[in-house]
């Protein structure tokens, strides 16, 4: 029952994202190949690579380590779009990033996790197969986005009204999933916070720094530098929780296990970095406007 609730919740969240998209959103990114390619490389390759190195550096093992890898493979989701708007970044580019990465996740997430599973898990800990996981991720994450895009294209006015309701529901579901995960694993959370905290905050900060460094080197506008940093650094914690639940060993108590915990902890800890980053980027825009 819990697994069904988690899957449906993620599908609703991703459907809400799809309702906010239009085919032209994909075209926005394609017209800016330099920004698009840089962002995809940071999120699809750079983020899992840095997560892997941090896991090794902090000597994290087992399900918690694999949970961090799961988080690093997730798209930004609605959260990154909201952060982009608050930070006064290029919101259209942010939506394009999120849309494309969300579609790619059905392929990239299983492949990366398949390559890293043997590094952290015993063969008896998880029944891991790339093809079944690809199908599940496509069904609950990618397909709802596509359905939302189609509805937006065919019934734009109805999709706009539905998007407002789904957006509120998506935020509520995210909060419920986060709270349920933390409450069900509170002992594990407190026992591992000393290790999980530094790894997750370091991952977030390093990806923000990577985006803020690569953007100026490539002569991207300030608004796109902001988006590059946010899309590289902020992940869909709900997707990480659900994927962690799907991969958890059958027969465990519930499905909110240690593989889901890093994504749940991340959903709380990222507020420590997102607030000052958003304030900083907003201040830069305000200062530029005042000087003009």
Domain over 2-287 is classified CATH 1.20.1530.20:
yes
Q: How far apart are CA 19 and CA 33, in angstroms?
A: 25
pLDDT digits (tens, 9 = 90+) for 254-278: 445 778 888 888 877 877 887 788 8
CA distances (Å), 200 to each of 85, 103, 280, 290, in order?
23, 25, 21, 36
* Residue 195, pLDDT score: 81
Q: Please report how the helices 261-291 and 156-184 are oriented relative to each other, as an axis angle in degrees rounded to 10.
A: 130
User: Does residue 213 carry a pLDDT above 80?
Assistant: yes
Domain ranges of the chain: 2-287
Give the pLDDT band (50/70/90) at residue 287.
low
In the structure, what pLDDT confidence band is assigned to residue 125 with cuts at 50, 70 and 90? very low
Q: Per mean pLDDT, which range of 67-71, 131-135, 143-147, 196-200 is the poorest?
A: 131-135
b/e per residue, 119-153, with b = 16+ CB within 10 A?
A: ebbeeebbebeeeebbebbbebbbbbbbebbebbe
Quickly state the pLDDT bin for 209 (edges 50, 70, 90): very high
pLDDT at 126 over 60: no
Map residue 116 onto helix, strand or coil: helix
* pLDDT class of 100 with cuts at 50, 70, 90: confident
Using only C-alpha atoms, the chain has a radius of gyration, in whole angstroms, of 18
**Per-chain mean pLDDT for the chain:** 79
Between residues 125 and 61, the one the model is more confident about? 61
The upper half-sphere exposure of residue 81, i.e. CA atoms within 13 Å in the direction of its Cβ, equals 20
């Amino acid at each position: 029952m819990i697994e069904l609730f988690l899957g449906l919740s993620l599908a609703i969240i991703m459907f809400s994202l799809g309702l906010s998209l239009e085919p032209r959103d994909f075209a926005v990114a394609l017209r800016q190949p330099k920004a698009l390619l840089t962002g995809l490389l940071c999120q699809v390759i750079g983020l899992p690579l840095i997560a892997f190195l941090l896991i090794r550096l902090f000597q994290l093992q087992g399900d918690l380590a694999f949970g961090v890898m799961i988080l690093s493979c997730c798209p930004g989701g609605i959260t990154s779009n909201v952060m982009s708007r608050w930070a006064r970044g290029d919101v259209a580019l942010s939506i394009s990033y999120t849309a494309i990465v969300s579609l790619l996740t059905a392929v990239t997430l299983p492949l990366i996790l398949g390559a890293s599973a043997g590094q952290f898990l015993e063969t008896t800990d998880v029944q891991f197969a790339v093809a079944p996981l690809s199908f599940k991720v496509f069904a609950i994450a990618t397909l709802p986005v596509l359905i939302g895009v189609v509805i937006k294209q065919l019934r734009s006015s109805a999709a706009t009204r539905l998007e407002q309701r789904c957006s509120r529901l998506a935020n509520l579901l995210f909060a419920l999933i986060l709270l349920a995960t933390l409450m069900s694993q509170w002992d594990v959370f407190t026992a591992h916070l000393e290790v999980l905290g530094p790894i997750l905050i370091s991952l977030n900060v390093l990806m923000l720094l990577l985006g803020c460094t690569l953007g100026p080197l490539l002569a991207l506008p300030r608004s796109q530098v902001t988006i590059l940093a946010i899309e590289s650094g902020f992940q869909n914690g709900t997707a990480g929780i659900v994927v962690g639940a799907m991969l958890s060993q059958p027969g465990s108590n519930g499905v909110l296990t240690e593989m889901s915990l890093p994504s749940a902890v991340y959903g709380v800890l990222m507020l420590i970095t997102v607030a000052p980053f958003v304030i900083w980027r907003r201040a830069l825009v305000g200062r530029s406007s005042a000087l003009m």
